Amino acid sequence: MKEAKKILITGGAGFIGSHVVRLFVKKYPHYHIYNLDKLTYAGNLANLRDTEKEKNYTFIKGDIVDAGFTDELFSSYRFDAVIHLAAESHVDRSIVSPMEFIRTNITGTVNLLNAAKNLWNESKYEDVLFYHISTDEVYGSLGTSGLFTEESPYSPRSPYAASKASSDHLVRAYHHTYGIPAVISNCSNNYGPCQFPEKLIPLTINNIKNNKPLPVYGKGENIRDWLYVEDHASAIDLVFHKGKPGETYNIGGENEWKNIDLVKLLCSIMDKKMSRPEGSSASLITFVKDRPGHDIRYAIDASKIHKELSWSPAGGFRENIEKTIDWYLSNEQWLKDVTSGDYQKYYEQQYTHR
């Protein structure tokens, strides 16, 4: 690919996207990074305050579900590559309102693929790349043993997982049918700064901080494989630059935790950090009705990306979870704004459609 690339990153105001945008803007000053984001409840430009003034960064507010908009965007900016993260991302919301997931995750992805195909077809798909960011949830649920590999059959079981599986299939179909150079990575659960406090780790931290009940679904026996968000961003950097078009890469932390053990760990670290008597946060744990169709266990075999692209997570779990807690404790205003929705009112005044 050429040196001075124009890269479209979608969903760059969200949790993972903001870490990817920051990494690319700082590490590759010869690229221009365009961050396209609708700024839904999960998108917050405060996540990129340290990056927004950089010369090689442009924010574009827009909705990937609007095909007229995505077509016009690609013909005016003529991107060389896309890193596609924009999505509705929370399983519980997908159970309550699946249609938003169908629209953004499926229709939105196809709109981007069509816009990329129309633009890149002119140059016979030379020096371009469509990189789709996906989840391990497309593979379904594991029992007590085994790991998801790139060959695991798809078996999505929540509307979120089904919408991501569908978008993965469409990206592969556009690669095979039209020849769009495309690569996909499927990652395990992420944690770290700037994650909206509806997912397990930031929700638990926020509730401990505010002395609110800590909801644990069912018996808390379900298992997730947790990866620090900056390790995911470094894997995305490697896949983008060294991954082979047509290939899939699984990314995971090799770091499995039962939900209840993880919540207890957060409680004990936060008791110390907040100088509360040991056991006071754990007394907030409340077992609640299980999530419908709750997947038992996710765990990734990341040996392909380890071997082929020499990727490994940089730090240890304990160190990164402490960093994450410290970030939430010292960013009280961020938490207040996202839980009250104030950040959206502010940015609605600052930015209009393009």
Tell me which residue has tokens 């290939």: 247
- Is 139 in contact with 186 (CB distance < 8 Å)? yes
- Is 160 tagged catalytic? yes
Among 82, 87, 171, 267, binds ligand NAD (CB under 6 A): 87
- Is 34 tagged catalytic? no
CB of 298 to ligand TYD, least distance (A): 7
- Could you tell which of ligand NAD, ligand TYD, none binds residue 104, using a CB distance below 5 to 8 A set by kind? ligand NAD
Residue 256 binds ligand NAD, judged by CB under 6 A: no
Closest by Cα among 95, 96, 327 to 202 = 327
Buried b (16+ CB within 10 A) or exposed e, 4-21: ebbbbbbbbbbbbbbbbb
Residue 85 binds ligand NAD, judged by CB under 6 A: yes
Pairing of strands 248-251, 285-288: unpaired
CB of 4 to ligand NAD, least distance (A): 25
Among 7, 14, 257, 343, binds ligand NAD (CB under 6 A): 14
Binding residues for ligand NAD restricted to 141-200, rule: CB under 6 A? 164, 187, 189-190, 196
Site track for ligand NAD across 15-54, x = CB under 6 A: xxx-------------------xxxx-xx-----------
Q: Cα–Cα distance between 25 and 22 in angstroms, integer? A: 5
Q: Cα–Cα distance between 176 and 174 in angstroms, integer? A: 6
- Is 152 in contact with 139 (CB distance < 8 Å)? yes
Tell me which residue has tokens 């950089």: 54
Residue 225 binds ligand NAD, judged by CB under 6 A: no
How far lies 12's CA from each of 9, 22, 83, 131, 296, in Å? 6, 9, 9, 14, 30
Q: Cα–Cα distance between 108 and 112 in angstroms, integer? A: 6
Residue 94 binds ligand TYD, judged by CB under 6 A: no
Structure tokens at 3: 């040196």
SS3 category, 59: strand
Tell me which residue has tokens 């410290």: 326
- Could you tell which of ligand NAD, ligand TYD, none binds residue 231, using a CB distance below 5 to 8 A set by kind? none
Tell me which residue has tokens 């029992």: 143
CB of 283 to ligand NAD, least distance (A): 28
Q: Give the CA-trace dihedral at 343, 132, 235, 158, to 10 degrees.
A: 70
Residue 252 binds ligand NAD, judged by CB under 6 A: no
Site track for ligand TYD across 265-294, x = CB under 6 A: --------------------------x---
Nearer to ligand NAD, 91 or 125 (CB): 91
Q: Which residue is nearest to ligand NAD (CB)?
A: 14
Residue 237 binds ligand NAD, judged by CB under 6 A: no
SS3 category, 145: coil
Which one of the listed residues 37, 63, 80, 137 is annotated catalytic?
A: 137
Among 217, 327, 347, 351, binds ligand TYD (CB under 6 A): 217
- Is 71 tagged catalytic? no
Judged by the rule CB under 6 A, the positions of this chain that interact with ligand TYD are 91, 189, 199-200, 203, 215-217, 222, 224, 259, 291
Residues forming the site for ligand NAD (CB under 6 A): 10-11, 13-17, 37-40, 42-43, 63-65, 85-89, 104, 108, 133-135, 164, 187, 189-190, 196
Catalytic residue ranges:
136-137, 160
